[in-house]
Structure 1
């Protein structure tokens, strides 16, 4: 599929992935337990402050809002009930997605313009018989990707973890692994700037490994700015992301709010179906 205009890839990778961690609002947070290491204790060591900042996410009770050049994403994680929801909409407004997790179950709801699917289908059918599984998936998608149908989904059947979290790691944003790949860091107890090597961060930020590879050397020293709240928890993070085949260059940011203040996410209601095999093939293409 043509990566520069593929709405399905943009939705799944830019929006749903747990990593979508980009920001829009302010950095208001709700009081909760102290993270491991307070802001004052780690102020002299920016790396330690970043590690402590991510500990609030590891507790698994927070909300986040993110923005990339491609999509706007919002999410809620409530680890006590093992539930979460991540909703994303493309910047060009040609598609949206929601991934909901409750316990061991996952449901995906996608809305894609049927005309976009027809264009992709024409491209794929031109690829010959070897593209038949993907073409079959797109035909099925015209019915299922109506923005109303929930597909009960086995995340283990989706390669690259591209659909998002199973809550085995409560930090669905990927910030913890990102901070582990920091190269340089400086600042004070409330704001830290530096660089991070995305090639060491893994598939944790909504950019699959292949996209980071496309960035080349630019991925090895990406500037970031992190703002912490008065308890030393992450409130806001921005990265100056290089361009890839799928995503333009631009600011990738996240705001984290509502620490220790979330409620359980309910199972979806309405039209619910099992995800068909050909749609799994499509999402893995």
Structure 2
């Protein structure tokens, strides 16, 4: 009788342990699904989005509203080219959204776009596919769009810079062509391509879109001595884009490595939209209680 009680007690404990293990597995699966498809968290390391985001802020990133991404993570970690697919969502990325994305260039390589799964940036969307962006006297302008874009106090600071520049401010910008003379104060116009949009291929489009086309096609776009545009060994006179692109900029415009300097952001590189600060700590680990659950605008 006593032996039977011991066996019954053991079975009860085994059932409890099995139930606990099963519950833990379910929680892990749910956590992974949420991380991949719904929402994830990122820590802000720099002040390039100040004062909207501060170093030490932890932000929740909405991955599902514009569609979560699917790709081979192991291949991406090994630095291989990966196909990135985006699930259907119910809204598009918009001007003013604060976006978290994989930086489109690998460290030390500025000659071609590449997906770096370990390198994340956060910037504000200034122009969306189909827009034509310009910077006039330091302020962002989109053709046909009334109203201000981005963080105005920082743009005002840029507008007050002398044309010759100031210490610590990089005045020259993408596409790094002195003949165009684009600077952080006077930039563009820069048409931002949309999927399906066709552009003529000449010296200007080669300068602006050469790396985008090369990334989409896996071939180098170049211009020969006669000014003809070649994709690999083939002469092309126009090109139809396969992806959407965005112009992004930091709110702290005088201290931000963004689209003004490296060009346009491919949509597949976007993780999602930063929506809330769920935690914020000072460098000394003190909590900034006034920033907890603050909406990102």
The alignment's TM-score, normalised by the length of structure 2, stands at: 0.23
| Structure having the larger proportion of residues in helix | 1
Q: For CA contacts below 8 A with separation 6 or more, give which structure has more relative contact order.
A: 1
The alignment's TM-score, normalised by the length of structure 1, stands at: 0.24
